[in-house]
Amino acid sequence: MKLYTYKRTGQSSPEVGVLRDGKLVPVAAFGLKYATMNELIRGASPEELKALASGAFDASAAVALESVKLLAPIPEPAQDVLCLGLNYMAHANEARSFNAALASKEGWPVYFSKRVNWAPGDGDGIPAHEDVTGQLDYEVELAVIIGRDAKNVTMEDAKDYVFGYTVLNDVTARDLQNRHVQWYFGKSLDGFTPMGPCIVTADEFAFPPALHISCAVNGEVRQDANTNMLIHSIAKIISQFSQGVTLKAGTIIATGTPKGVGMGMATPTFLKKGDVVTCEIEGIGKLTNTIV
């Protein structure tokens, strides 16, 4: 099923809903009191999730998807987003051509994180931060949402901890990323982690998901790959990072970006105000944001 966070016209608080028969149905219409996606992920029982996916509901509560303002499915992550660097081979190569220091140690994933005070949703702007950066770049990524606390998980069991997936744009200020050695600052500016349009629950895809992933800037396709090209698999990431670290329910893992980012172009080309970035993953949807 597809789960959304959104605001209805004139409504001050967001609500969480599920897409049923092409319309959005608030979880309240199923008798559930989850006010946010994080509450739903942490609290919903298998029976409640089954009811959302296929149970009866009051049809008068359904609203048209087009009539609401979509927010990021998790607009305020409870913790920093956990990210993979250099997790598609062709992207690792293009990154090295821009900055030789951007290299991973053979066989070992590069983990980093980004602060997300507020994640833009589909249709929201991405602040250009022109006073801070002159090298604004995009990175389309498959984001994995953890469904229950994960600790010391085996690779075989890893799939049981995945709640679902969304599209994430790991927006990056390349000059800050390179200047400060640690990537945290250059990845953490306000509005640098658009997500959406929804969370698709894990049961909708085979594991690991093999989905077409792409990013276009002003309609020009820049990134075009498949999530089956990850160097380090989702199972490996969940298993490895949960050894000694509890991945709390609601944790967001950005699995890395494929080849085709602005820094990797023959003449490195960065985003500017007015550019429209569309990230898309098969089966999840499109995440479109304008640089403002």
- Contact residues: Mg ion, CB under 5 A: 139, 170, 257
Q: Give the shortest CB-147-to-Mg ion separation in angstroms.
A: 22
- Phi, psi dihedral angles at 218 (to 5 degrees): 50, 40
Amino acid letter for position 104: S
Closest separation in Å from C-beta 74 to Mg ion: 17
Judged by beta carbon, residue 2 or residue 259, the one nearer Mg ion is 259
- CB 278, min distance to Mg ion, A: 17
CB 85 to Mg ion: min, Å: 6
The strand pairing partners of 164, in sequence order, are 145, 201
Q: What is the 3-state secondary structure (H, E, C) of 115-156?
A: CCCCCCCCCCEECCCCCCCCCEECCEEEEEEECCCECCCCCC
Residue with smaller CB distance to Mg ion, 26 or 196 = 196
Q: What is the smallest separation between the CB atom of 263 and Mg ion, expressed in angstroms?
A: 12
In this complex, which beta carbon is closest to Mg ion, that of residue 36 or of residue 223? 223
- From the CB of 212, what's the least distance to Mg ion, in Å? 18
Residue nearest Mg ion, CB atom distance: 170
Closer residue to Mg ion (CB): 122 or 137: 137
User: Beta strand 252-254 with 140-146: parallel, antiparallel or unpaired?
Assistant: antiparallel
Residue 29 or 110: the one with the smaller Cβ distance to Mg ion is 110
Neighbours of 215 (CB within 10 A): 26
CB closer to Mg ion, 40 vs 110: 110
What is the nearest approach in angstroms of Mg ion to the Cβ of residue 1?
A: 27
Cβ distance to Mg ion smaller for residue 24 or 143: 143
Determine the residue type at 150.
Answer: A
Minimum Å distance from CB 256 to Mg ion?
A: 6
DSSP string, 82-100: EEEES-SHHHHHHHHHH-T
Angle among Cα 58, 63, 69 to the nearest 5 degrees reads 140
When the beta carbons of 124 and 139 are compared against Mg ion, the nearer one is: 139
